[in-house]
Every structure is written in structure tokens, then in C-alpha cells.
A and B are shown apart, each in its own frame.
Chain A
Amino acid sequence: MGKQRLQQLFQQKKGNLLSIYLTAGYPRKDAMPLLIKTLADKGVDFIEAGMPYSDPLADGPTIQHSSSVALQNGMNLSLYFKQIAQIRQEVDLPVLFMGYFNQVLRTGIDRFLQQCETAGIDGLIIPDLSPEIYQAHYQKIFKKYDLSLIFLISPTTSNERIKMIDNLSSGFIYVVSSSATTGKSGRFEEEHLQYFEKIRQMSLKNPAMIGFGIDSAEKYQTACRYAHGAIIGSAFIKALSSNDYLKSAGMFVEKIR
């Protein structure tokens, strides 16, 4: 399915999309398939399945912690793909790989992308793959596969650059809400709203999803006024800390929606 599954989603549903980020292997080694199933049942539109990384540079304390616990729990790439392939039999919502470029590079780009396709992954979000280096060195390889590649833009990204990144992206464009690592809370201020409005008015070729720091129903709804939807990560991970993580996951989605 690959690119098509994500495209269809954005064609069928014009707004209020909710995407949830989870860390594979957190809070338990076998949690990911169960969580994806629960989230799908609760009407979450697509999943960012984070492969934990030892050195997650763009992440704040919450995802650093979940990543480190997940690695201690024994999460690794082969188990990750196995769990994705397993849950792919049961759910039809798009599932994206989220991780760091070293994980792709170390496996071998071709081999990694093949494994993504085989497991039923629809696209990739790799925050430390810069558009320039991608174009110069890796675009040809990525193009061979039926996988969306989602790039990020931030409040410091110039308009010209936003257009360039929009052209490189497929699936959607990831609008980072503020200049911060993941999980930084706080209200949306006027400057954030102006930035979202600017993106909205640019009429990009890709749909836009706003992420980073979305931790309440109010912020989710605000984001949905300016973009096709929003992505929640750290706040979801934090909500999982109780014993019955599946129940808390379901309740979290109900609270946001």
C-alpha cells in the first residue's frame, strides 16, 4: 500500500486528523501492537511508530526516557519490524517509521527500506535527515520504494525553504510548532498562531500536520484550525505511565478528541 494509504487518508478526511506517536517497546517490550490496535479502535487516524534510539537529539526528556526504557526492555530493529508486520494483519491505518538516520544508514538504506515495505510501513519521518544531504546523496535510493518521506519545517524555516521542503516531502509536511525539542508544554502564543496561519496561506502541495508540544484537547483543536490535524507524542507517552497502559491510552485519545 505504502504511499497510497496515507494519500487516501488525507483525501477522505479533510481535517481534524489525529496522529499519535508511540515508542516501540514502551512501556513493555510487546506493547506496540496492542497499543496500535487500541489507538486504531479509538479512531486515531495514523500512527508514528518510534524506533527507540540511544541518542535522540531532537527529543526532550519524556521521549528520551521512553526510548531508554524501551531499549532496556529489549526493543531492537528486527523485533520492531516483526511487531509492525504482525499488527499490519489487523489494522488498516497508516503506520510511519519514526527514528534517526543512523538506524537507517547502519542497516543499509536499501535493506532498511525493503524491510519497511515488507512489514507494511507506509512512510518515514527522520528528523535528522537534512533535505540538502537527502537530495545530494540519498534521494535516488528512497525513490525506488513505495514509501512516503515526511520532512519537518520549524518556525525558523524560511518561506523559500518551506517550498523546497514541501516539494521533497510526500504524504504530508510536519509543522514543528515551536523552536524546541519534543514535549515542551505551554500555551500557543500569538507568534505560533501567526506562523500556523502563514503556513496555511502558503497553500502547500502537501497537507500539513502540526506537532511538538501538543498536550491538551485545546491545543489539538487550535492546531486543527490551521492544519489538517495534529500529532501528539510526549503527552501520550506520559499518559502511559500507569499500570494499565492500554486503558490509559484509550482514555487519553477520548480526552483529546
Chain B
Amino acid sequence: MKYEVDQLGFYGRYGGAFIPELLHKNIAELQEKYLEIIESPGFQRQFNQLLCDYAGRPSPLYFAKRLSEKYQTKIYLKREDLNHTGSHKINNTIGQILLAKHLGKTRIIAETGAGQHGVATATVAALAGLECVVYMGEKDIERQAPNVARMKMLGATVKPAKSGSKTLKDATNEAIRDWINHPQDTYYIIGSVVGPHPYPDMVARFQSVISEEMMQQLAAQTGRDYPDRIIACIGGGSNAAGAYYHFLDNDAVELVSVEAGGLGIDSGHSAATGVLGTDGIIHASLTKLMQDNDGQIIEPYSISAGLDYPGIGPLHAHLISTGRTKVLTATDDEAVKAGFELTRLEGIIPALESAHALAALPKINFKPGEITVVNLSGRGDKDLATYLKYLKD
């Protein structure tokens, strides 16, 4: 693999673990043990069984006939929205809760944006019988109310992050501070391919089940085990990392990452890090982020709480800088429109995050016969209020 991390957790020049000494012991323990634990046959057996019997994998690869007709190409949807808890996030939380148990931790913390990772974490914490605290930006608590209610019903404590933009970035800061204050008993389940090494690599590995299944499903349905193109949305980038993983070294597969363009990338209100970002450190990782000339992090904006993040995972920063992935952006309006389009053509209501990936379809020049897979990372139940508001307007 050309895109693996080195000893210190760098993909090319991106990654690493820029952590305060207070976190060193916890991070070092993970760095030393994660591969050995997650590659062990016992762990793999438990992990795969839960993915299958509990999360409902494999998720279908669905040929979207009417959508394909509209764009005169072949579009398949990888149905991560059909997983238990409604998104790809459960793949990672199952993996990490098993790891936490293995390390003897008794308290789980997580950050969440759209609430999908929070729900997926609260779910596996309930399953494992562990205490769970989820940090969520105050603004996101308001706009993703259904997921807040789900987390509470699952027994998690939802703590509001009140600093900064009161979104995912700030929730992540609070979770990291919680971990500094509880170094002994607590395990931090990070929800994306962000944060200090080994999280980006570990989360990508847990999510790689998406592309692994895709290969088998494509082979069975199309006779070829790779597509011409994969489209995924990126905030931190975990669904994209999972969808790309087994195709990273296959240059015949075009990888298209779609970022949140918010009100337009030149509007000053977006989360288009791949386009607007420069090299710097966010959440202990050297990557691309939106920052000013002094290195102060700029508060992002997106209609989608899951993409409303001023950084991207270091793997994605590396893929963008080497030209391996192509970055497109979709504005709020384009994403909502794409969400309605999928709903009316295929009877599938996508999460606003996934709607950004779909919004790339009108921007691509498809060649006849090409096969494109859109990673449909989550379902839109949590976003109904936002969608309905647009319907009225």
C-alpha cells in the first residue's frame, strides 16, 4: 500500500500526534497495541460477527436505475444508510468498543457533529454495558434533536460544547480535554479519520469493510471488482476513507471527495477544507485546515452538522496533495436539491452529509458505460426538519 502511515503516524507530511504530554501514555498505549489487537483472530471474529449480526452487514450495493437514467450512466449506491443506527459510523464504534474492552477501560467518551457518531457510540456503549459521555456542539444539539433524544434513551450523557462555533470542532476539543482529565479509566472513541495517530489509521481500517464489500459486490453484479469512480462526502472523512480504502492503489478508480460548500466557497461560510485549507494542526494532527495567517482556526459553516468541520483527516490531506483524490464542493442548496432528487427518483431519503456526495453528480462528465459508486453514508431521518423547511420555502 502506498498510502499507509509511517512509524510516527504520518501519511507523507500529514498526520502525527501533536499531543500534550498529559495524553502521551494513553496515545502511546494505543499506538503500541492497536494493530496487534485488531489484527488478532479473536478480535476479527468478534468484530465481523457484530458487523454481520448486529449492524446488519453487508450493506447492499444497489443499482440506482432511475438515477442512472437521469445522468445517463451507471450509478450504484453503497447503502451504509441501512446499517443499524443509520450510518457507516457503527462500523467504527463496534471496532473501538471491542478495543476499549480489551484495554480494560470502563468509561467511554465521544464527540459528535450530526449525532450519528454519538448515537453509534451510545449504542455500542449500551451493548458493552459501559458508561458513555458524548460531547456535542450546542448548535448541533439544536439542529439534530432526534439524535440527541436517541443518545439519551440509550443511556448516554450528552454534554454541550459551548465554545467557539459550538459545533463539531468544539465538541472534539471538549472530548480531548475530558480525556486529559480522566487518563486512567476512559477510552475516547473518535468518530472520524482525524485526531492523533493511531486514530486516523485505526478508523480507516474499521471503515475499510465498506470498500471490501464493494469489491465483492461489484464483481458479482458487474463482473469487475472495481468501479470507474467512487464519490463520497468528506467532513473528517471516515466514510470516504472506508469507501476508498481497498482502491487507493488502483489508479483506474477515480476518487471524488465532496466537501461542504456552505453558502459558496468564496462566501466565507463553508467547510471546504480541501479547497480553502492550508497546512496546520487541528486536533493533534498535521493536516489541511481552515485557518488565518496567525494559525487561528476559522470557524466553519455547513447546513450539514456532520461536514461542519474546519479540518480533514491527514490521509485525505495526503490524497489531495498527491492528486490521488479530486475535490468537489456542494453548497447547502445543491445538497438539499440532491437529497430531494434521490428521494423522488429512488425512494431513499439521504442524510444531508450523503446528499453532498449526490450533489456532485451534475458536475461530472460521465462517459457511457462507466460505473460510479456513491457512498450513501447515512439516512436522512435526522434531517427531516431541515428538508421540510426547504420544501416550505
Are B22 and A76 within 8 A (Cβ)? no
Q: B204-238 toward A: CB 8 Å interface, digit per residue (1/0)?
A: 00000000000000000000000000000000000
Are B284 and A128 within 8 A (Cβ)? yes
Are A130 and B181 within 8 A (Cβ)? no
B293 interfacial by beta-carbon distance below 8 Å: yes
Residues of B within 8 A of A76 (CB): 294
Are A107 and B17 within 8 A (Cβ)? no
B280 interfacial by beta-carbon distance below 8 Å: yes
Are B294 and A136 within 8 A (Cβ)? no
Are A64 and B18 within 8 A (Cβ)? no
Taking the closest CB of chain A, its distance from the CB of B70, in whole angstroms, is: 43
A107 and B291 CA atoms in complex are apart in Å by 12
Q: B274-305 toward A: CB 8 Å interface, digit per residue (1/0)?
A: 00001111111010000101111100000000
A179 interfacial by beta-carbon distance below 8 Å: yes
A245 and B326 CA atoms in complex are apart in Å by 53
A52 nearest in chain B by CB position: B296
A19 and B260 CA atoms in complex are apart in Å by 45
Taking the closest CB of chain B, its distance from the CB of A143, in whole angstroms, is: 20
A58 and B169 CA atoms in complex are apart in Å by 15
A152 and B21 CA atoms in complex are apart in Å by 6
Residue among A55, A129, A158, A179 making CB contact with B282, cutoff 8 Å: A55
Residue among A103, A151, A156 making CB contact with B295, cutoff 8 Å: A103
B313 interfacial by beta-carbon distance below 8 Å: no
B156 interfacial by beta-carbon distance below 8 Å: no
Taking the closest CB of chain A, its distance from the CB of B277, in whole angstroms, is: 12
Are A179 and B180 within 8 A (Cβ)? yes
A8 interfacial by beta-carbon distance below 8 Å: no
A60 and B176 CA atoms in complex are apart in Å by 11
Are A58 and B180 within 8 A (Cβ)? yes
A58 and B16 CA atoms in complex are apart in Å by 18
A234 and B17 CA atoms in complex are apart in Å by 26
Are A133 and B169 within 8 A (Cβ)? no
Are B295 and A105 within 8 A (Cβ)? yes
How many A-B contacts if CB must be within 8 Å?
112
A205 and B292 CA atoms in complex are apart in Å by 39
A132 and B279 CA atoms in complex are apart in Å by 20
B348 interfacial by beta-carbon distance below 8 Å: no
Are B22 and A130 within 8 A (Cβ)? no
B163 interfacial by beta-carbon distance below 8 Å: yes
A55 and B12 CA atoms in complex are apart in Å by 25
Residue among A133, A157, A165, A184 making CB contact with B181, cutoff 8 Å: A184
Chain B CB count within 10 A is highest, among A136, A151, A156, A161, for: A156
Are A55 and B297 within 8 A (Cβ)? yes
Taking the closest CB of chain B, its distance from the CB of A178, in whole angstroms, is: 9
A73 interfacial by beta-carbon distance below 8 Å: no
Q: B4-24 toward A: CB 8 Å interface, digit per residue (1/0)?
A: 000010000000111111101
Residues of B within 8 A of A136 (CB): 8
Residues of B within 8 A of A104 (CB): 295
Are B8 and A154 within 8 A (Cβ)? no
Residue among B163, B180, B181, B283 making CB contact with A64, cutoff 8 Å: B163
Q: B157-168 toward A: CB 8 Å interface, digit per residue (1/0)?
A: 000000110000
A181 interfacial by beta-carbon distance below 8 Å: yes
Residues of B within 8 A of A133 (CB): 8, 16-18
Are A181 and B181 within 8 A (Cβ)? yes
A68 interfacial by beta-carbon distance below 8 Å: yes
Q: B176-218 toward A: CB 8 Å interface, digit per residue (1/0)?
A: 1100111110000000000000000000000000000000000
Q: A49-89 toward B: CB 8 Å interface, digit per residue (1/0)?
A: 00001110110100010001001000011000000000000
Residues of A within 8 A of B176 (CB): 57
Residues of A within 8 A of B180 (CB): 57-58, 179-181
B279 nearest in chain A by CB position: A105
Are B20 and A127 within 8 A (Cβ)? yes
Identify which of residues 103-161 in chain A touch chain B, using a CB-to-CB cut-off of 8 Å: 103-107, 127-133, 136, 151-154, 156-158, 161
A102-B280, A133-B8 known; A179 and B294 CB under 8 Å?
no
A176 interfacial by beta-carbon distance below 8 Å: yes
Are A60 and B296 within 8 A (Cβ)? no
Q: Could you give 13 example pairs across A and B, Cβ below 8 Å?
A: A55-B164, A55-B169, A101-B18, A102-B295, A103-B295, A106-B280, A127-B20, A128-B284, A136-B8, A154-B22, A179-B22, A180-B181, A184-B181
Of all A-B residue pairs in the complex, the 5 with the closest CB atoms, nearest first, are: A106-B295, A156-B25, A102-B281, A58-B20, A102-B295
Having A53-B296, A106-B278, A133-B17, one finds 8 other A-B pairs with CB under 8 Å, namely: A55-B169, A68-B163, A100-B295, A128-B20, A130-B16, A152-B21, A176-B21, A184-B181
Residue ranges of A at the interface with B (Cβ–Cβ < 8 Å): 53-55, 57-58, 60, 64, 68, 71, 76-77, 100-107, 127-133, 136, 151-154, 156-158, 161, 165, 176, 179-181, 184
Residue ranges of B at the interface with A (Cβ–Cβ < 8 Å): 8, 16-22, 24-26, 163-164, 169, 173, 176-177, 180-184, 278-284, 286, 291, 293-297
